[in-house]
Chain A
């Protein structure tokens, strides 16, 4: 079974750093792009960026370029999303998802989500 399992919920203060993870299993992790999607409370889905774990080729949505860093460690089939200095506006649910077909493509499956809460 193809699965993406994300790290647990985080509560952080503004200005702190954070790295959340997404571990793939049941398929060849290096052969599929992984994407990150933000969902703010009560809102829709926003594509943040994608990474190809095979060679770490990374592409960002212009809206998120410079705001986050996407990385991957293919040796442990894990992708990451990180912030160097969190803001309250980063509070949201973050999903990773496997990209089908290419870049761009559609997403399947999705991780269960990681809730990030940033509050002083």
Chain B
């Protein structure tokens, strides 16, 4: 199975900050990576697919980049609604696997 490792596990930031979350794959997954946002008590919500394609309706302050084994999710200016947990997911091969999550907290 392909292992997905996110860093950091927890991130403390303020409204307006630029934040970056990293996701590393244990082997190359080309650009077959998605990012999700999950708020407490809610289902995950798709933000980014194919490493850098923004899902329709997702604010443009979210962006994704990377290929191969290293990927990033960036939020250009953190908003109150963005405090949540973020997960990456590889779909290069089965079984699909998720990162362990990065919790973005209020500083």
Chain A contacts to B: CB under 8 angstroms: 44-47, 59, 61-63, 95, 97, 100-101, 103-113
C-alpha spacing A113/B92, complex, angstroms: 25
How far, in Å, is B84 (CB) from chain A's closest CB?
Answer: 14
Contact call B46/A109, Cβ cutoff below 8 A: yes
Q: Which residues of A contact B92 (CB under 8 A)?
A: 104
Total contacting residues, chain B, CB less than 8 A: 24
How far, in Å, is B100 (CB) from chain A's closest CB?
Answer: 5
Chain B contacts to A: CB under 8 angstroms: 1, 32, 34, 36, 42-46, 49, 55, 87, 89, 91-101
Q: Which residues of B contact A112 (CB under 8 A)?
A: 42-43
C-alpha spacing A111/B34, complex, angstroms: 18
C-alpha spacing A45/B57, complex, angstroms: 23
C-alpha spacing A108/B34, complex, angstroms: 10
Q: Which residues of B contact A46 (CB under 8 A)?
A: 98
- Chain B residue nearest to A105 in the complex (CB): B91
How far, in Å, is A57 (CB) from chain B's closest CB?
Answer: 13
